[in-house]
Structure 1
Amino acid sequence: MKKVLFVGNLSFSRGKLDGQTVKTRMILSSLVKKYDENYVKIIDTDDRDIFLIFRILYHMIFVNSFYYLPGVMQVKYLTIPVSIWSVLTFTNIHYIVVGGWLPQLLKKNTLLVYFMRLYKSVSVELDSMRQILADMKLNAFLLTNFRAYSTQNVNEHKRVITNSPMKLVFFSRVMTEKGIFDAIAVANQLNLSLDIYGPMCFTLHSDVVKFKSMCKKNVKYKGVLDGSNIIESLKNYDVLLFPTTYEGEGYPGAIVDACFSGLLVIASDWKYNREILEKYDVGFVMDDYVKDCCFTLGSISEEELKNYRNNAINASSHFTTSAFDEWFLRVND
Structure 2
Amino acid sequence: MTVKNALLYKRLSDYLTIDKLDLSIVKKLNLRVILRLIRRLFSHDGALVLGVSADWRYRLTYLLYRFNRSKMERSILIVMGGKTPESVTYANRLNGYRRVYVETESMKRAFEAMGVHNVSIYPNCREMPKAPTQIRSSGSGRMSSVFFSLISPDKGVEIALGVAKLLPEVDFHFYGRIEGGYEDRFLGKVDELSNVYYHGVFDSVAGDVLGELSKYDVHLFPTQCPNEGVPGVLVETKMAAVPTVASNVSYNAELVESGKDGIVLDECTAEAMCDAIKALDGDRELLVSMKEAALASAEYFCVDHYLEELVADLENGRKGGLR
Q: Which deviates the most, 52-61 or 186-195?
A: 52-61
Distance in 1 of aligned mates of 2:78 and 2:57: 11
Are residue 298 (structure 1) and residue 278 (structure 2) matched?
Answer: yes
Partner of 1:223: 200
Choose between structure 1 and 2: higher helix proportion: 1
SS in 1 for 2:128: coil
Choose between structure 1 and 2: higher strand proportion: 1
Distance in 2 of aligned mates of 1:89 and 1:117: 13
Distance in 1 of aligned mates of 2:62 and 2:183: 41
Q: Which deviates the most, 216-225 or 165-174?
A: 216-225
Return the offset for 1:321: 2.2
Q: Which deviates the most, 49-58 or 236-245?
A: 49-58
Q: Percent identity?
A: 23
- Among 19, 43, 50, the alignment partner of 1:41 is 19
Contact 1:195 1:222 in 2 (8 A): yes
Q: Which amino acid aligns with 1:169?
A: V
TM-score (norm 1): 0.84
Structure 1 residues 234 and 252, CA, compared in 2 at 3 Å: closer, same or farther? same
Structure 1 residues 208 and 178, CA, compared in 2 at 3 Å: closer, same or farther? same
Distance in 1 of aligned mates of 2:241 and 2:310: 28
Structure 1 residues 237 and 279, CA, compared in 2 at 3 Å: closer, same or farther? closer
Partner of 1:240: 219
Contact 1:178 1:246 in 2 (8 A): yes
What is the RMSD of the two structures over their aligned residues, measured on CA atoms?
2.1
Q: Which amino acid aligns with 1:208?
A: E
Contact 1:267 1:285 in 2 (8 A): yes
Structure 1 residues 224 and 75, CA, compared in 2 at 3 Å: closer, same or farther? same
Distance in 2 of aligned mates of 1:298 and 1:226: 31
Return the offset for 1:328: 1.6
Structure 1 residues 297 and 279, CA, compared in 2 at 3 Å: closer, same or farther? closer
Distance in 2 of aligned mates of 1:55 and 1:225: 34
Alignment: residue pair count = 301
SS in 1 for 2:256: helix
Partner of 1:79: 61
Are residue 29 (structure 1) and residue 6 (structure 2) matched?
Answer: no
SS in 1 for 2:208: helix
Structure 2 residue runs of 5 or longer lacking an equivalent are: 317-323
Partner of 1:15: none
Q: Which amino acid aligns with 1:120?
A: R
Contact 2:15 2:311 in 1 (8 A): no
TM-score (norm 2): 0.86
Return the offset for 1:170: 0.4
Return the offset for 1:299: 2.2
Partner of 2:242: 263
Distance in 2 of aligned mates of 1:94 and 1:133: 15
Structure 1 residues 167 and 283, CA, compared in 2 at 3 Å: closer, same or farther? same
- Among 24, 31, 37, the alignment partner of 1:56 is 37
Q: How does 1:99-248 map to 2 (within 5 A)?
A: 99-101=81-83, 103=84, 106=85, 108-135=86-113, 136-150=115-129, 152-153=130-131, 155-158=132-135, 160-163=136-139, 164-191=141-168, 192-200=170-178, 202-203=179-180, 205=181, 207-215=182-190, 216-227=193-204, 228-248=207-227
Map Cα deviations across residues 212-232 of structure 1 (whole Å, 9 max, x no partner).
121123211112223341111
User: Relative contact order: is structure 1 or structure 2 higher (C-alpha 8 Å, sep ≥ 6)?
Assistant: 2
Structure 1 residues 174 and 244, CA, compared in 2 at 3 Å: closer, same or farther? same
